[in-house]
Structure 1
Amino acid sequence: MARAIQTRWKINGTLKAETPIYIGGMGGNADTDLALAVNGCGNYYIPGTSLAGALRGWMSKPFREAELKEPNHSINHLWGFQDANSNGHASFIVIEDAEIKGSSNIEIREGVGIDRHTGAAADKAKYSRAILPKGVTFPLSITLDCQQDQTPDELWKLLLFLEDGKIRIGGAKTRGLGKVKLEDVKIEKHILNTASGLFDSLLKQNLQQDWQKIKAALGQYYSPAELTLTIAWQPKDPVMVKTEGDGIAIDILPLVSQVDTDVKFVIPGSSIKGVLRTHAERIVRTVIGIDITPDREGKPKFNEQIKLYKANKPIELVDAIFGSAEKSKDNNSEGKIGALYIDDCHAAIPMTVENWSAVENASSMMVNNFRPLVEAAIDRSEDPYKVLQPAMHVAVDRWTGGAAEGMLYSVLEPIGVSWETIGLYLDLDRLQKYDSNLIKPAIALLLLVLRDFANRKIPIGYGTNRGMGTVEVTEITMNCSPINELAGIETKTEISSDLSSLGDLLTPLTEAWQNWITQHQEAA
């Protein structure tokens, strides 16, 4: 039987990708392990189910899981539900599939697991992912049916968060992907329970609503608790992430990513998050005294290492911050999305696609032949790239002490490149749901990691054991929601490299960290 509907709201707008986006399709292909979703016309698109899941998940953030199981809960009433007895109803919100506008060149990002013993790439833990580049746009079309003539304030708040870029969509959201912003919002109201309203709706008259007036009437609204950190930095050595493919004359090129119509050097959020996680694990294992029992061969393989880590309770703090992969095939879920989000970090100055292609396809490394291509690829108006030319490297023969045969290679090393800031976002609401007792230890551990990063103990990118990747942090700024038992954290705006600028906050954070260590040392 059809539902009685009095009012219908139609919302249309454009979502613009602030970071690259990954929406998984069916399996992989010859080019990548994790392919993008493609619709029946062969075009890249974002399914309405993906958008609806992200929006419903965001709207559910203020509520506990037990609350969301109640059939009469407002979230279930709006988005629909089905209980164990097959009772429920369909959603009152309809979200259309969103086809990517215009032609878009996809990018391939490589990922790899890190062996906890060697610190190198783990065996059989490498994968590739296709992504849509930063700057792509796609339409957002939402229809809301109301059983009464009511104003859907919760939906308006959702649109505000989309305008602020707070809601992420797709996969790898905590590793630099999925951030979008809503633009060009248009709202129509269809009144269906009166003859005049239905007549206007049929003729498309007097339907447009003023979004600015709707926003002004909302007043205060719930904002999820979050700790935001912005790190301004500059390289002290060449800093880059290696691209998977090789150039013609140059063996190793820095990774670039498309930004609107240009390209920029990029350090993926996954790369930054990986090195910070490794250091956080090192801190936890050191203070608790965690060891991994080797297998008969003397070293457990990568998957066994992960299982052994999960057997240690203290690693749950690291998993709560950085996340953990799903390994179980039964109903006992082991997967956990991390509370920490880290965005991609781009170089400050863009290059044209054509000129960077000329660099990739340069047929000679002779300075006179190569330098004009580099200079053409770079906007040198402010001279941000002091040096950008191939550096030659060679492996040393352990027997002769000379250059090893066939081991000469070249690297295009970006030296003196200006970079944008690194953005980190710690979802305090998610930590609260995992365990409220983890909030202060998690903040303490994250600040310890950033202290070591600011003191040049954590290099990033490619070749970090070979003179590359050292950075100098020039400023760390902070913006945090109020937190119980951490009075004043919302007023702190800057963090020094020794954390002394935290002032009175150092005492409760230190106590929480030491209590957490003592508790888990006793358990061990």
Structure 2
Amino acid sequence: MSEPFLRPHSQVQVARLVLEALTPLSISTGSPDGVFDSALVRDANGLPALPATSTAGVLRSLWTQQYGSESADELFGFQKQDQGRASRLHIGWGHLLDSQGRAAVGLLLGTDAARLQNDPLWADVLAQRDAPVHRNRVRLTHRGAAADTGKFDRSVLPAGHRFALELRLHAAADDAGPTWGDLLALFAHPGFRLGGGTRAGLGRMRCIGLHTAHFDLRQPAQAQALGRLGADPSFTQGLTAQPVSQAPAAEWLAAALTLDARDLWRIGQGDVALPSKEAADKVPDLLPVTERRVRWSGAAGQISPQRELLLPASSLKGVLAHRMAFHARRFSGAWAGQACDRDKDGQPVAPAEVRALFGEIKDKARAGQGEQGWAGCLFIDDAYLPIRESARLMHNSIDRFTGGVREHMLFEEQNVFGGQAQVHLALDLRRLHLMAAEFSTSVAAVQRAFEAALKDLCEGRLALGARSTSGNGFFRASLPEAFTRPWPEQFSATQAEAA
């Protein structure tokens, strides 16, 4: 296995890419910051960054799915006891771009440090160190109520920010191994997502710029040209612009779900009131969640002056999982009152179909089993809507004994009226095949239960957001054709091993 080290790598393929976050990004340090449960990874200048290890891990996983583990070992390297091989692929950190599409390489000092405060995009993300954009999350029980100790939050970088990074592939002159184009095509793969919460709306990336070059180090002129590139991944002089080709993803399903609100709705608890025609003395107590995004016009970016309504994927994922559990039990004849599997806390374990599709958190293992967990196979993206007409509703609490109004229990709620949101869905069928076998169910059973839950949502029988018991949060949509066709049941042994 040591032979590849003896072969000279005289050929270098260089690619410099610009990645844009289509949905908010949350690459966490893994530790709280004293106020929030997670903090974003930042570089020496305090700017959010894409760690090279995160990019490399996602690329290796996707490459393994497509081309097998042996090919991944040859390209990305490996270490198994006393045998190993260094990676032929070198990946740099992703640097956050400013409003003019320039990266900050190294620690900015002196006059260069003024760019951090003078650029509107950088100044905004630096201000987020003290007041980060975050998502409030809560884990629900089988009764639809918040689980004890199930409240947490996640810091995110707003959608629209762009990063520049560099890849270098080293090869011998006569190397006929994995092609450079196949690797770059993975940046357009539906499974290319970075950071945490990727199955709950975060981390979807899009490659919007690609420049490449090939250098033969046996020729002094080309070796000097490689050295002149410098360390700035946003510098592309001497490189050739290339289109981003689509990676083969035959074992993935992707579709868009267009949701039309039938009436009033509100998701989450926001901090900024929506514009209203009604005069009011105070801000409503309950507000819809709104967020800002970065918008680009060519190579110039700015923070959108108008906030947008957020339809978080976590809300959609939660209601679909609970309704899917109902349909899975209905189809299997597991009625209420019958004995069922329970976790170590005594709560009913979700049906196998739900766990195969949506995954299972580590601390919810069945009683008598050790801690274990699996990532889900379904990816749902966050969606944004333009701010529309709103309605302010007054509420009070009634004393159950006297039938009168309880003192100090008057509050006001601001709801959104109507609107349309397009939610992108992606399903990893190859992984679902393995998870269905792991949970002793079938892909057909998973599809049957999920399609029934999705149909309830599309036909207005499943509500999203707050006050669903009062008639709010009902939407209409057409079932995506890609999810109604029969999902493949079988994959080859090579494909199963790769997954």
Global fold match (TM > 0.5): yes
TM superposition shift of 1:273:
0.2
1:369-448 aligned within 5 A:
385=388, 387-416=389-418, 418-435=419-436, 438-448=442-452
Identity of aligned residues (%): 23
Give the whole-Å Cα distance in 2 for the aligned partners of 1:303 and 1:268.
Answer: 30
Q: 1:444 to 1:286 in 2, by over 3 A?
A: closer
The corresponding residue for 1:491 is none
User: How many residues of Structure 1 are paired with residues of Structure 2 in the alignment?
Assistant: 423
Give the whole-Å Cα distance in 2 for the aligned partners of 1:390 and 1:277.
Answer: 31
Q: Are the equivalent residues in 1 in contact too, given 2:189–2:249 (CA < 8 A)?
A: no
Give the whole-Å Cα distance in 1 for the aligned partners of 2:410 and 2:339.
Answer: 36
Choose the corresponding residue for 1:147, options 172, 176, 199.
172
Name the TM-score, length of structure 2 as normaliser.
0.76
The corresponding residue for 2:257 is 231
The one-letter amino acid of 1:440's match is A
Q: 1:485 to 1:201 in 2, by over 3 A?
A: closer
Summarize deviations over 1:30-52 as a string: whole Å, max 9, x none.
33112211233322212100011
Choose the corresponding residue for 1:456, options 457, 460, 465.
460
The corresponding residue for 2:82 is 86
TM superposition shift of 1:466:
2.4
1:77 aligns to 2:74 (yes or no): yes
| Bigger mean CA offset, 222-231 vs 184-193 | 222-231
1:44 aligns to 2:48 (yes or no): yes
The one-letter amino acid of 1:16's match is E
Summarize deviations over 1:245-270 as a string: whole Å, max 9, x none.
58662111100122222321111001
Give the whole-Å Cα distance in 2 for the aligned partners of 1:151 and 1:257.
Answer: 48
Give the whole-Å Cα distance in 2 for the aligned partners of 1:136 and 1:268.
Answer: 18
Choose the corresponding residue for 1:157, options 182, 188, 200.
182
Q: Are the equivalent residues in 2 in contact too, given 1:255–1:265 (CA < 8 A)?
A: yes
Name the TM-score, length of structure 1 as normaliser.
0.73
The one-letter amino acid of 1:108's match is H
Choose the corresponding residue for 1:136, options 161, 165, 187.
161
1:317 aligns to 2:353 (yes or no): yes
Give the whole-Å Cα distance in 1 for the aligned partners of 2:237 and 2:315.
Answer: 51
TM superposition shift of 1:332:
6.6
The corresponding residue for 2:290 is 256
Choose the corresponding residue for 1:304, options 316, 337, 345.
345
TM superposition shift of 1:407:
0.8
The corresponding residue for 1:178 is 203
The structure with the greater share of residues assigned to helix is 1
Q: Are the equivalent residues in 2 in contact too, given 1:15–1:183 (CA < 8 A)?
A: yes
TM superposition shift of 1:292:
8.1
Give the whole-Å Cα distance in 2 for the aligned partners of 1:7 and 1:479.
Answer: 42
Give the whole-Å Cα distance in 2 for the aligned partners of 1:221 and 1:125.
Answer: 38
Q: 1:483 to 1:320 in 2, by over 3 A?
A: closer
1:21-36 aligned within 5 A:
21-36=25-40
Summarize deviations over 1:186-213 as a string: whole Å, max 9, x none.
112111134554355456699634625x
Q: Are the equivalent residues in 2 in contact too, given 1:116–1:305 (CA < 8 A)?
A: no
- Kindly report the root-mean-square deviation, in angstroms, between the aligned alpha carbons of the 2 structures: 3.2
TM superposition shift of 1:152:
6.8
The one-letter amino acid of 2:14's match is K
Give the whole-Å Cα distance in 2 for the aligned partners of 1:79 and 1:11.
Answer: 16
Unaligned runs of 5+ in 1: 351-384, 487-524
Summarize deviations over 1:114-151 as a string: whole Å, max 9, x none.
1213x111121000000111101111211111123557
Q: Secondary structure of 2:424's match? A: strand
TM superposition shift of 1:101:
2.6
Summarize deviations over 1:466-514 as a string: whole Å, max 9, x none.
22112222x233237995579xxxxxxxxxxxxxxxxxxxxxxxxxxxx
Q: Are the equivalent residues in 2 in contact too, given 1:240–1:267 (CA < 8 A)?
A: no
Q: Are the equivalent residues in 2 in contact too, given 1:431–1:438 (CA < 8 A)?
A: no
Q: Secondary structure of 1:309's match? A: coil
1:269 aligns to 2:313 (yes or no): yes
Q: 1:482 to 1:7 in 2, by over 3 A?
A: farther
Q: 1:389 to 1:435 in 2, by over 3 A?
A: closer
Q: Are the equivalent residues in 2 in contact too, given 1:175–1:270 (CA < 8 A)?
A: yes
Q: Secondary structure of 2:468's match? A: coil
| Bigger mean CA offset, 176-185 vs 149-158 | 149-158
Q: 1:482 to 1:203 in 2, by over 3 A?
A: farther
Give the whole-Å Cα distance in 1 for the aligned partners of 2:488 and 2:57.
Answer: 31
Q: Are the equivalent residues in 2 in contact too, given 1:165–1:180 (CA < 8 A)?
A: no
TM superposition shift of 1:78:
0.5
Give the whole-Å Cα distance in 1 for the aligned partners of 2:157 and 2:25.
Answer: 5
TM superposition shift of 1:23:
0.4
The corresponding residue for 1:17 is 21
| Bigger mean CA offset, 449-458 vs 47-56 | 449-458
Give the whole-Å Cα distance in 2 for the aligned partners of 1:22 and 1:408.
Answer: 37
TM superposition shift of 1:97:
1.4
The corresponding residue for 1:189 is 214
The corresponding residue for 1:341 is 379
Q: Are the equivalent residues in 1 in contact too, given 2:29–2:39 (CA < 8 A)?
A: yes
Give the whole-Å Cα distance in 2 for the aligned partners of 1:192 and 1:292.
Answer: 73
Summarize deviations over 1:22-77 as a string: whole Å, max 9, x none.
101141123311221123332221210001101111111136xxx62xxxx11101
The one-letter amino acid of 1:433's match is L
Q: Secondary structure of 1:479's match? A: helix
